[in-house]
Amino acid sequence: MRLTGRTTLWLLAPALVLMAVLYVIPLGVYLINGFHEFRDGRILSVWTLRTYAAYFTDPFSYRVIGTSLRLSLVVTLLAIVIGYPVAYALHTRVKGAAAKTAIALLLFSPLLVSVVVRTYGWLILLAGQGLVNTTLRALGVISEPISLLFNMRGVVISLTHILLPFAIFPIYSVMGRLDPSLKEAARDLGAGWRDTFLHVTLPLTMPGVVAGALICFTLALSAFVTPQLLGGGRVQVLPLAVYNSTVEINWPGGAVAGLSLLIISMAAVRALNALLRRLPTA
């Protein structure tokens, strides 16, 4: 359809109005609170940098940021390390488009169910007498039940499960776009499976890996339900800090914590996007 400049503006107008009123203004109103101060249980509407100063001199802030970064990093690595071979197996070892689609649907189906439901599933699985502990004991791997709930372990396992499809999908789709003749050429030149994989497939699928890492890292960084329900108060990450500050009506403190979460996640997006642009594409 040919659109005139005026029509284009009319088409964009509803979205722009909604985004301005319900996105830009609320974010602005929220972040402005960081320049106010919370004292004696109420918010003082004075303009000050004291909330920022207090936040960045408090060692607890750095502990929370550290926990957030560590959790996101570990979970992203796990999702990629597990997701890559799964995507590769789906791409190379399943014959027929229908079978591929069916297995891909099975892998992504948990996304259709609320994250609260999935987290509840892990709550049952990781319990002291749950399936995981019972199986590990039956196999003789452990003699006593290990505690997998209400600490970092449970959060890592559950979050890896939640993010795995977001790692598999971009890697799988890049593999699908790979020119099969490249692999054949490598084989014809005498390269074995290992050399073909290490020098052709892996480098050319790195864009998928980085794209997957980007999604996983940002989602892990902003995860709230899983650390809250499975962390048992021992996994203090940035979204929980924002939540707790807000519950305590400490909007200024919450705004500063929220801004650091926002900045870290934007920085991660920018860094990984820059990396993505520098990678060779097939």
Partner 1 sequence: MSTPTPDRETAIETHERRAEALRSGLLRTTLALGVGFMLLPLVIVVVYSFSSVAYGVFPPPGLSWRWYAHLFEQTAFRGAFVRSVVIASVAVVISLGVGLLCALALVRSDFRGKEALRGFLLSPIVIPKIVLGVGWFIFFARLGMQGGVVPITLAHVIVVLPFVINVLAANLVGLDASLEEAAQDLGASSGKVLWHIVLPQIRSGLVISALLAFIVSFDQVESSIFLTRGENNTLPIEMFLYMEKWQDPTIAALSALLILFAAVMVGIAVVASRGSEWRRMLPR
Q: Binding to partner 1 (CB under 8 A): which residues in 55-84?
A: 82-83
Nearest to 238 by CA among 250, 255, 252: 255
By three-state DSSP, how is residue 44 classified?
A: strand
Stretch 161-220 residues interacting with partner 1 (CB under 8 A) = 161, 164-165, 168, 192-193, 218
97 binds partner 1 (CB under 8 A): no
Candidate ranges 53-61, 205-213, 224-232, 274-282; the one touching partner 1 (CB under 8 A): 224-232
- Integer CA distances (angstroms), 145 to 134, 148, 226, in order: 8, 9, 22
225 binds partner 1 (CB under 8 A): yes
Nearer to partner 1, 8 or 281 (CB): 8
Stretch 110-169 residues interacting with partner 1 (CB under 8 A) = 110-125, 127, 129-131, 134, 161, 164-165, 168
Which residues lie closer than 8 Å to 202 by C-beta, 6 or more apart? none
267 binds partner 1 (CB under 8 A): no
d(CA 60, CA 239): 14
Which residues lie closer than 8 Å to 115 by C-beta, 6 or more apart? 162, 225, 226
Q: Read off the tokens for 175.
A: 């593999």
d(CA 186, CA 200): 8
Nearer to partner 1, 167 or 204 (CB): 167
Stretch 237-266 residues interacting with partner 1 (CB under 8 A) = 238-239, 242-243, 246, 251, 254-255, 258, 261-262, 265-266
